[in-house]
Amino acid sequence: MNNGAVGIVGAGCICAAGDSVEEVISALYSGKRNPVPPVAFTSELSEFPPVFEIFSDLTRFAVHENHSRTTLLVLVAIREAMLQAELNDSVLKNTRVGVALGTTVGCTLNSESFYREYRAGRMPNVSPITKFMSNNPAMAVAEIYSLMGPVAAVTNACSSGADAIGVARDWLNSNLCDIAIAGGTDELSRVAYLGFNALQVTSNEPCRPFDKNRKGLNLGEGAGVLILESEASIRRRKSRPYAMISGFACSCDAYHPTGPHPEGVGLERAICGALADASVTAADIAFINAHGTSTMDNDKVEGCVISRLFGDNISVVSTKAYTGHTLGAAGAIEAILTIRGLLDQKLPGTIGFEVPDPACKIIPTDRLTDISGRFALSTSLAFGGSNSAVVVQLDS
């Protein structure tokens, strides 16, 4: 490895498409998805935009009765990733392991009843506050596994999962830890559901990334985790990295609280910075896993930037068509699926895409597609003008 690249020795994922990386990738390759109206909560809307909800039993992963669904989701992903990375109790005890996990607001939006009672002048039970105080997902993981490295919860809206990967990579390159658990996690919540609906960016039908007839996003929930390891630790443990994080950069538009800059200047800076960090050019990138939310502005701006930087022949996919927009988990889940695309040398079709939109400048995959190359790019955009880009590569 060189140029600051760090090895990927394990990955874990849970979302509506499946309870493991293998289940998720199988759903993507077979073109299966099932967004439905939310079951976990109710609303007074006249129509119910579908969501990508997880119906698996997560209670068996609970370590503490106060652990939120957001924390339980990441514990599922971590368990899978640790098994693949061969991180047993002995390794965890004798190695500096850091935790960087992204989330938007996690469980904090699921305490409506408490705040309603409090504002009404009553004295509600404080258990929601107790639960909130114990549900920083990064701290919860560090406590559960008695980890000795740095800990950070990254809350940078929808780029949080990607940004957490960038933070963990910096730790490893600065010798602050030997191994890092990096990723993101978020659960569905009624407040987020109603909030995105109020912003008029949700769709009452399954999302259609980059399609001319797209009407908005579908929210989702889940967690994605990568186990990253420094070169020195890989040699010491005789680990077997199968891919690397070789480039990362982030930038801010400073343009609008929710919308991207119409020219995508921040996204372009992030992509160019990540390519430079990885010492590659646009021509080296085999494909892009785009943020691709299926909203009008995001898809148009992102498509134009991709076309401007990569031309017309770059393969592009939006895996949100299968997972929904998992908010703080999105960047991490999509990085994992990007890595898997490189390993398999193929991409799923962007389900829902049918009619090209000239305003987007790009045409995403519409069927299972073979690709060729060692490098790929995953992009994340967020409220507040945040833009992040991750370059992954196959281990040489």
Predicted confidence (pLDDT) at residue 110 exceeds the cutoff of 70? no
For 177, residues 6+ apart whose C-beta sits below 8 A from its C-beta are 96, 97, 98, 149, 150, 171, 230
Predicted confidence (pLDDT) at residue 1 exceeds the cutoff of 60? no
The predicted structure's pLDDT at residue 130: 76
Predicted confidence (pLDDT) at residue 106 exceeds the cutoff of 70? no
Predicted confidence band of residue 108 (pLDDT cuts 50, 70, 90) = low
Q: 309 phi and psi, to 5 degrees?
A: -90, -30
pTM to 2 decimal places: 0.96
Where b means 16+ CB within 10 Å and e means fewer, 312-331 reads eebbbbbbbbbbbbbbbbbb
38-67 pLDDT, tens per residue? Answer: 998 888 888 899 999 999 999 877 777 778
Residue tagged 């945040």 (tokens): 386
The predicted structure's pLDDT at residue 20: 97
Estimate the share of the chain in helix, then strand, then coil, as percent rounded to the nearest 5: 40, 20, 40
- Selected catalytic residue, list 13, 15, 107, 325: 325
Structure tokens at 346: 């193929």
- Selected catalytic residue, list 207, 291, 304, 360: 291
112-143 pLDDT, tens per residue? Answer: 788 888 889 998 888 777 777 777 999 999 99
Instruction: For residue 13, give the 3-state DSSP assignment.
Output: strand
140-159 pLDDT, tens per residue? Answer: 999 999 999 999 999 999 99
Structure tokens at 29: 């390759």
Per the annotation, the verdict on 158 as an active-site residue is: yes
- Of 226, 267, 228, 225, which is closest to residue 250 (Cα–Cα)? 267
Sign of CA dihedral 34, 39, 40, 42: positive
- Of 338, 360, 363, 333, which is closest to residue 350 (Cα–Cα)? 363
- Our measurement of the distance from residue 275's CA atom to the centroid of its chain's CA atoms, rounded to an integer in Å, reads 20
Domain 6-394 sits in CATH 2.60.40.1120: no
Picking from 96-105, 120-129, 234-243, which range would have the lowest pLDDT averaged per residue? 120-129
277-290 pLDDT, tens per residue? Answer: 999 999 999 999 99
Predicted confidence band of residue 305 (pLDDT cuts 50, 70, 90) = very high
Structural contact between residues 269 and 33, judged by C-beta atoms closer than 8 angstroms: no
Count CB atoms within 10 A of the CB of residue 349: 18
- Selected catalytic residue, list 13, 107, 158, 177: 158
194-232 pLDDT, tens per residue? Answer: 999 999 999 999 999 999 999 999 999 999 999 999 999
Of 29 and 117, the structure prediction assigns the larger pLDDT to: 29
- Of 139, 124, 129, 138, which is closest to residue 108 (Cα–Cα)? 129
Per the annotation, the verdict on 291 as an active-site residue is: yes
- Say which DSSP state 230 is in: -
Average pLDDT over residues 170-183: 98
Where b means 16+ CB within 10 Å and e means fewer, 141-159 reads bbeebebbbbbbbbbbbbb
For 40, residues 6+ apart whose C-beta sits below 8 A from its C-beta are 53, 188
The predicted structure's pLDDT at residue 131: 76
Give the integer Cα–Cα distance in Å for 185 and 225. Answer: 9
Residue tagged 């000239």 (tokens): 358
Instruction: Give me the half-sphere count of Cα atoms (radius 13 Å) on the Cβ side of residue 144.
Output: 21
Q: Where are the domains of the chain?
A: 6-394
The predicted structure's pLDDT at residue 124: 86
The predicted structure's pLDDT at residue 68: 87
Structural contact between residues 225 and 332, judged by C-beta atoms closer than 8 angstroms: yes
Structural contact between residues 205 and 352, judged by C-beta atoms closer than 8 angstroms: no
Give the integer Cα–Cα distance in Å for 106 and 186. Answer: 5
Predicted confidence (pLDDT) at residue 80 exceeds the cutoff of 90? yes
Predicted confidence band of residue 184 (pLDDT cuts 50, 70, 90) = very high
